[in-house]
Every structure is written in C-alpha cells, then in structure tokens.
A = this chain, B = another copy of it.
C-alpha cells in the first residue's frame, strides 16, 4: 500500500467529489467548478457532459470546501428571541423566502430573550462565517457588539428603530407605538390608565412611550407581576384581576401583546365589565385570533413578514456591495380599531 493510497479513506465509494466528476467527464476540476458556478464560461457541449456525470453520480458539491476557498458561504444567520411566539415567526418566513430565492440559506438562532445567550449564539454563528447576520433588537451586550463589528460582515438589526444601528436597522419606534396607543385611548378618555407588559427591551419601550404621552394627564398603573417575556394569556388575566381589584372608574389598558390582551379580556368578561365603555383594551401585534375575540380586539398592526423581507433585501444588497442601504429602514404600524377600544 503506497503512502498515497492509505490517505484515501474511501477510494471507491466515498462521497463523490468534484475531482471525481472531473475525472469521469474527462476535464479538469476547475472546469467542473466553472460549470457549476459560472456556466457561461464553459462550452455548452462540455457543460452538458459534466451535467450528465453529475446526474449519474449524484454529486452534491461540498459547500464547506467551497466556502472555505471562496470566503462566501451563502449563509445568512438570524437570531430571534423565539419562534413559538407568533410574533417573529412570520418575520422568519419573510426572511427565508427572500433569502432562498437569492440562493442563500438561513441559519437560525433562538436567544430566548436572553442577552447572554445572544452572545454565545453570535460566537457560534460567526464561526460558520455567514455572509451576513440579522439580530433582533438594538440592545446587545458590549461583547456581542465588539464581536459583530470585528467580524466585518453586513449586519441588520430588526424589530426596533435607532438613529445609530450597528450597521442597518429595519423596524419601527416602540416609543411611538406607546404614544399612539395613549392617544387613541385619550380620544375617548378614561378615569384610569394602565399598562400590562412584559420586560423585554421593546415591550419596555412601548410602555415608556405610553407613560410619557400620558405624563401630566394621568398616572399609568403598572400591575406588579413577575412577567417575563414572552408573556402569556395567564399573565394578562392575572394582571387584569389586579387592576380591577384595585379601584373603580373607567379604565384604559395597553397590553404588551395580543396574547396578554386576550387574557386581560377574558378576566374582564369574567368580572362582567362592559367593553369598551367601562374598560378599553388595546393589544399589540394583531395576531391571527385578534379579529375573533369577543369583542374583537383593538390592537397595533405591524407587517411582521415585511420586516423579514426588508431585512433580507437590505442584507443582500450589502453583500452585493451596495453602499446606499440607509442606516434606518422604517416599517409602518397603525392601530386597528375593533371592538375593545
């Protein structure tokens, strides 16, 4: 056995490589590579011969090797808090659709609303040398930011707005959402105002926007609950119970998500509140079920899918070398006034 032979682990039946295809098609490896990546540089006849060999052998290119050599992986990574809470799922679908049609693949990271986990994910992701990375939100650990900017790849932050993103951001102002909701409630006017919310950075911003807009007009009540993101139906229900316990007068409530609002609504029903006369509830997200609660839920609508689409487009443009991708890409939101406010 020669030194050469013993290094070939699977001389015959190992996975087919580009070199195998080249040999069988009687061309050099470079030509096969070109046939795959830049077919217009190869003579049609040669192309066809190579194509036949590929079909016959079932050759699947090794993108690890390709990526290592070319420094382009055609991989885009995205970190979102969760995929089970409807809110980000559609963004991912939008993202994915756009990426796939451009020949890219999506590497998904779930951070669970945890900044530390985001950091670890970022490290693990960068080790795969994606061509771009998409993060949820604009608040990251110092180390995360450093690692990200040091990696020198296109970055898109989604679901929030900032004048100074790491690179580019696609989203909207949660402060503005809070303010808008406050105004919607003020148009009718209630004796009391409250906010039921989760504790993730964006929910907090929405609350702050709400509170700020009502400053000097009313003290916003904030039920004290241990409500971690994502918050649930039960959280909303418990918080509403607390609010109804606590005092009288008409009440306008802003919930940090439709799920919470749904829970709040259930409790209000249970206690026999008249909605929206005595009690107004506004959610956030316009989830599928929102039109079907009793009464139908008034909420804030965002085109969640569009965030994904725009994020993908931005990152693809950046990869293509475009400089004019703007730091902040705004996404619309508006109140869908249904039955609860």
The residues of A with any CB-CB pair to B shorter than 8 Å are: 15, 58, 60-65, 67-68, 73, 75, 82-84, 86, 89-90, 92-93, 96-97, 100, 105-110, 123-129, 146-147, 150-152, 233, 259, 262, 266, 288-289, 292, 294
Seed contacts A58-B147, A92-B108; 16 additional CB < 8 Å A-B pairs: A58-B146, A58-B150, A60-B147, A60-B151, A62-B68, A62-B129, A63-B129, A64-B67, A64-B73, A68-B68, A84-B86, A84-B89, A97-B110, A106-B108, A108-B108, A262-B292
Asked whether A62 and B289 contact (CB < 8 A) given A86-B86, A93-B84, A96-B108, the answer is no
Query: How many angstroms from the CA of A73 to the CA of B96 in the assembled complex?
Result: 22
Nearest 6 pairs of A and B residues by beta carbon: A84-B89, A63-B127, A108-B108, A64-B68, A64-B67, A84-B93
Contact call A92/B96, Cβ cutoff below 8 A: no
Stoichiometry, as copies per complex, reads 2
Given contacts A93-B82, A107-B105, contact A288 B259 (CB under 8 A): yes
Asked if residues B107 and A60 are in contact (CB atoms below 8 Å), the reply is: no
Does A83 contact B73, Cβ atoms closer than 8 Å? no
**How distant is the Cα of A128 from the Cα of B60 in the complex, in angstroms?**
9
**Residue of chain B at shortest CB distance from A77:** B105
Closest CB-CB distance, A16 to chain B, in whole Å?
9
Q: How far is the CB of A146 from chain B (nearest CB, A)?
A: 7
Q: Which residue on B lies nearest to A68, using beta carbons?
A: B64
Give the contacting residue for A84; candidates B90, B106, B151, B262; CB below 8 A.
B90
- For A60, what are the chain B residues with a Cβ–Cβ distance below 8 Å? 123, 126-127, 147, 151
Q: In the complex, which residue of chain B has the Cβ closest to the Cβ of A128?
A: B63
For A123, the chain B residues whose CB sits under 8 A away are: 60
